[in-house]
Amino acid sequence: MIAARRLDKISRLMGSRATPYSLKALNKESLLWTEFWNPKVRLLCNNDGVAAFSSTSHYSSNCNHSPTNKVLRNLPGYVKIVEVGPRDGLQNEKEIVPTTIKVQLIKMLVSSGLTVVEATSFVSPKWVPQLADAKDVIDAIQNIRGARFPVLTPNLKGFEAAVEAGAKEVAIFASASESFSKSNINCSIEDSLARYKDVASAARKLSLPVRGYISCVVGCPVEGMVPPSKVAYVAKQLFDMGCSEISLGDTIGVGTPGTIIPMIENVIRVVPIDKLAVHFHDTYGQALSNILTSLQMGISTVDSSVSGLGGCPYAKGASGNVATEDVVYMLNGLGIETNVDLEKLMLAGDFICKHLGRQSSSKTAVALTSKKANSKL
Amino acid sequence: MFLQKLYTRLNNMENPSKACNSFRLLFTMSSLEEPLGFDKLPSMSTIDRIQRFSAGACRPRGDDMGLGNCWIDGRSCSTSNSCDEDYEEYTGEAFPWRRHVKDVSEGGTFNRRASSLSKNRMKFEYVCDSRYLPDHQCSCKCNDRGIHGITNKFLKGIPKFVKIVEVGPRDGLQNEKNIVPTSIKVELIRRLVSSGLPVVEATSFVSPKWVPQTYSMGNDYCWMQLADATDVMKAVCDLENARLPVLTPNIKGFEAAVAAGAKEIAVFASASECFSKSNINCSIEESLVRYHAVCHAAKELSVPIRGYVSCVVGCPVEGAIPPSKVAYVAKELYRMGCFEISLGDTIGVGTPGTVVAMLEAVMAVVPAEKLAVHFHDTYGQSLPNILVSLQMGISTVDSSVAGLGGCPYAKGASGNVATEDVVYMLNGLGVKTNVDLPKLMSAGDFISEHLGRQSGSKTAVALSRVTADASKI
């Protein structure tokens, strides 16, 4: 009753240890689940694919079936995760994190499979002392292969410093809210765009890719709701000036699928969807559902921060960035490839949390760590 | 307590909904990416923030789910149906909260001054001048009217109204090591009911008096926590405007529940054989036989029965649970007379991928309107799981105020999804719940204070941080 191809699939999954010990068909309904028992690995298999879990960790969200339900039908097969922990995450830390720790964190993140890791920011150390060691960080990661390391550059001066330090990709940061733009970067949206045109132009001359960020794409701590059309306007400007990707940031985390959808809809009218990324904050616990909605709409790049590093500066004590581990867990469960090894990612998260002296903000990491600890008892 | 004061103030105002409070703000020099401390931005009160961001979006009247009007998060549609109220210019006297304003002309020093709001209006440069019109339409200058179709695709199947079943007093508190006094439980239930929650699971009749076998439910002390079931039930059974189901594991528990005044009961089966044996000390089949007897007795007294299925995605012992098994148990509970079946991801391992497969199997044998979802947030997945469930047509969601109830299988990990976070999301989707978020947060605040720890709800934490900062101004 078991198709030969299924046995093959299982063998490949398990490697040379694969020897189905016994099998038991649970039912004959359309979703035929067949159980294979093996002393080391337990598998469940249906006509479309295999859900596997080993006896050491009873459940793995890994799922490689292609969903047929309309709700999940058009999800991308691969999602690129842009890891912003070392920059967006750490910049909010009061205690200065030593350069060596930052560099080690970046190395561990890269080794988990993350292909884009935002390394640092070339802003005035007066304003962001945490990132005063930008040059040293870039120096130290020059030889790391297998990943890109964009750095924030607020203006031409920052750009030149970044290039001199060896940066090979830069990022610029505009706002969809006029008030926020004025308070955060001390100029109007238009002035900031003019400034970034210079940066983008200089980057083009050196064939350096530029990533554009838009903050306050749903709400602003001052203005309240931000119109989707405004977000689209800023996105178009950044795209037209040469940004290879535009990351849409819900800076204060107030977005829900109901507001994310019209925002993305407006933006994709003026920027191709494959050039867009989403950067949701989890301040109100909404990030993962917003990410899911974005994936349903065709977005395939997601920003996140290991261990959920980076609180919300607008609501002290509240959470900020969505945790990369939680995102990867969800994507794994959806059968979406990320190339990220969750266990190695958790090691990186563990490393930085130990240094910061606090628990991870990733629920996945906390749950899996607790399970491991309990299983050793 | 500050929330309560704010809420009282809000309620006492003549037109609390007229909250178009904009203000002109002057900003000093600041740097790019300087992590702005809260003191550098004008504060926003909790009510403000809720009104601005969290609450029910304007849903167009009628069946048109289309978003020709843009979805703007606004006030929650509570039982007072505040959506009917106009948002207009309001005077400073209505909202006397001070604002933090930084005046650039003064070289960067902070000025505190009472907001002179009489001439101020929420500045939506591109959007609304008034947030709501009486007929629920957003007065909106958004130019997204042509994207009807795309929006509909993603929100089409989502119900207009979602019933929230609040499980905090039972499922939440049963995991607490320290016994919560009966009076606190009763007060919590009262506050939850007054927030508009239509169903609040009050307690569980699981004492060894009625349940002689081992009944661990993941911990050894849950029965002790719920030993005051009779007292709780007697104290709340007359509360109006909400249903108060109680768990009854067997006939004895059922009889005790009825004697105490319970008008609705719940039974609890598992889709995992191992979990059934370890949790209620019998096989799935044996438990179903037992519940058959309970259902029979309940039907005779016209007492509605809610059925729970645990481990609908994964089991701490067996691992992944086949959807067909969940469907089988759900169908059995439905056939024996349960009016609603709540599908519980007990260890929170589900993701939209596995949840959809499970729901497909169950919905093939039990109508969607008879189903509820009960997701745990142990891996942070509950809100996306709830979202896909809504997209599949489910319209009842279980949750727990302040995220009460940890995961007994992963110590320190979270458990139930927080009701405040669910309500925030549903409000943002324009889904009615009849739940008043500030009142709900007040209930969460109350129990969290008693338990001596921070709320497990991110929405509540975020909003209360804003409030705390505002109160220092």
Q: How far is CA B379 from CA A197, B342, B413, in A?
A: 42, 20, 8
* CA pair distance A356, A348, nearest whole angstrom: 13
Residues of the domain holding A241: 80-373
Interface membership of A213 toward B (CB under 8 Å):
no
**Can you tell me the ipTM of this complex?**
0.84
**Mean pLDDT rounded to a whole number for chain A:** 85
Inspect the interface and report whether the beta carbons of A257 and B429 lie closer than 8 Å: yes
The closest alpha carbon to A169, from A190, A147, A186, belongs to A147
Burial of A32 (0-12, 13-18, 19+ CB in 10 A): middle
Interface membership of A316 toward B (CB under 8 Å):
yes
Inspect the interface and report whether the beta carbons of A227 and B125 lie closer than 8 Å: yes
Inspect the interface and report whether the beta carbons of A261 and B319 lie closer than 8 Å: no
Inspect the interface and report whether the beta carbons of B461 and A127 lie closer than 8 Å: no
Out of A126-140, A222-236, A342-356, B28-42, pick the least confident: B28-42
Tens digit of pLDDT per residue, chain B (473 long)? Answer: 545 554 455 455 444 444 434 434 333 333 333 333 434 444 455 555 555 555 444 333 333 333 333 332 333 333 333 333 333 333 333 333 333 333 333 333 333 333 333 333 333 333 333 332 233 333 323 333 333 444 567 788 899 999 999 999 999 998 888 899 999 999 999 999 999 999 999 999 986 665 554 444 445 556 677 888 899 999 998 899 999 999 998 899 999 999 999 999 999 999 999 999 888 888 999 999 999 999 999 999 999 999 999 999 999 889 999 999 999 999 999 999 999 999 999 999 999 999 999 999 999 999 999 999 999 999 999 999 999 999 999 999 999 999 998 776 666 667 899 999 999 999 999 999 999 999 999 999 999 999 999 999 999 999 987 666 655 54
Residue A178 lies in a domain: yes
Inspect the interface and report whether the beta carbons of B31 and A186 lie closer than 8 Å: yes
* CA pair distance B237, B244, nearest whole angstrom: 7
| pLDDT score of A24 more than 70 | no
Chain B closest-CA separation from residue A311 CA (Å): 10
Disruptive mutation site among A43, A126, A256 for chain B (greatest number of B CBs within 10 Å): A256
Instruction: Look up the CATH number of the domain holding residue A316.
Output: 3.20.20.70
Inspect the interface and report whether the beta carbons of B147 and A367 lie closer than 8 Å: no
Domain count, chain A: 1
| pLDDT score of A326 more than 80 | yes
Inspect the interface and report whether the beta carbons of A367 and B27 lie closer than 8 Å: no
User: What digits encode the pLDDT tens for the residues B198-219?
Assistant: 999 999 998 666 555 444 444 5
**Neighboring chain A residues of B40 at a CB cutoff of 8 Å:** 183
Interface membership of A143 toward B (CB under 8 Å):
no
User: What digits encode the pLDDT tens for the residues B155-168?
Assistant: 888 999 999 999 99
3-state secondary structure B178-217: CCCCHHHHHHHHHHHHHCCCCEECCEECCCCCCCCCCCCC
Q: Which of A216, A220, A312, A353 is catalytic?
A: A312
Residue A64 lies in a domain: no
Inspect the interface and report whether the beta carbons of A63 and B125 lie closer than 8 Å: no
Interface membership of A297 toward B (CB under 8 Å):
yes
Inspect the interface and report whether the beta carbons of B459 and A53 lie closer than 8 Å: no
Q: How confident is the model at residue A270 (pLDDT cuts 50, 70, 90)?
A: very high
Interface membership of A338 toward B (CB under 8 Å):
no
Interface membership of A183 toward B (CB under 8 Å):
yes
Q: What pLDDT, on the 0 to 100 scale, is given for residue A35?
A: 35
Over range A271-281, report the average pLDDT. 97
Give the A:B interface size as CB pairs under 8 Å.
Answer: 327
Residue A341 lies in a domain: yes
Within 13 Å of residue B88, how many CA atoms lie on the same side as its CB? 8
Q: How far is CA A364 from CA A282, B234, B349, B412, in A?
A: 14, 40, 9, 12
- For residue B16, which amino acid is it? P
Interface membership of A63 toward B (CB under 8 Å):
yes
**Neighboring chain B residues of A58 at a CB cutoff of 8 Å:** 314-319
Q: Structure tokens of A65?
A: 């079936």
Residue A1 lies in a domain: no
Tokens 């919905």, residue located: B363
More confident residue, B91 or A50: A50
Chain A closest-CA separation from residue B73 CA (Å): 7
First to last CA, chain A: 40
Residue A74 lies in a domain: no
Interface membership of A42 toward B (CB under 8 Å):
yes
Q: What pLDDT, on the 0 to 100 scale, is given for residue A60?
A: 53
Interface membership of A27 toward B (CB under 8 Å):
yes
| Closest alpha carbon within chain B to A187 | B29
Inspect the interface and report whether the beta carbons of B154 and A286 lie closer than 8 Å: no
Inspect the interface and report whether the beta carbons of B429 and A256 lie closer than 8 Å: yes
Over range A84-98, report the average pLDDT. 93
Over range A351-367, report the average pLDDT. 96
Residue A42 lies in a domain: no
Sign of CA dihedral B84, B90, B93, B99: positive
**Neighboring chain B residues of A195 at a CB cutoff of 8 Å:** none
- The number of beta carbons lying within 10 Å of the beta carbon of residue A126 is 9
| pLDDT score of A277 more than 50 | yes
Out of A51-55, A86-90, A170-174, A309-313, pick the least confident: A51-55
Show which residues of B are catalytic: 407
Interface membership of A229 toward B (CB under 8 Å):
yes
A108 CB-near residues (< 8 Å, 6+ apart): A344, A347, A348, A351
Q: Does residue A115 contact residue A147 with C-beta atoms inside 8 Å? A: yes
User: What is the value of pTM for the model shown?
Assistant: 0.79
Q: What is the CATH number of domain B163-472?
A: 3.20.20.70
Chain A closest-CA separation from residue B359 CA (Å): 10
User: What digits encode the pLDDT tens for the residues A126-144?
Assistant: 888 899 999 999 999 999 9
Q: What pLDDT, on the 0 to 100 scale, is given for residue B381?
A: 98
B472 CB-near residues (< 8 Å, 6+ apart): none
Over range A296-323, report the average pLDDT. 87
Q: Please identify among residues 108-137 of chain A the ones whose CB lies closer than 8 Å to any CB of chain B.
A: 121, 123-124, 126-128
User: What digits encode the pLDDT tens for the residues A54-81?
Assistant: 433 345 565 544 456 888 988 999 999 9
Chain B closest-CA separation from residue A81 CA (Å): 18
Q: What pLDDT, on the 0 to 100 scale, is given for residue B464?
A: 86
Domain boundaries, chain B: 2-155, 163-472
Q: What pLDDT, on the 0 to 100 scale, is given for residue B387?
A: 97
Disruptive mutation site among B47, B50, B53 for chain A (greatest number of A CBs within 10 Å): B53
Q: Which of A26, A58, A222 sits opposite B316 (nearest CB)?
A: A58
* CA pair distance B363, B353, nearest whole angstrom: 16
DSSP string covering A21-32 = -EEEE---SSS-
**Neighboring chain B residues of A370 at a CB cutoff of 8 Å:** 410-413
Q: How many residues does chain A have?
A: 377
At B231 the three-state DSSP class reads helix
Inspect the interface and report whether the beta carbons of A370 and B386 lie closer than 8 Å: no
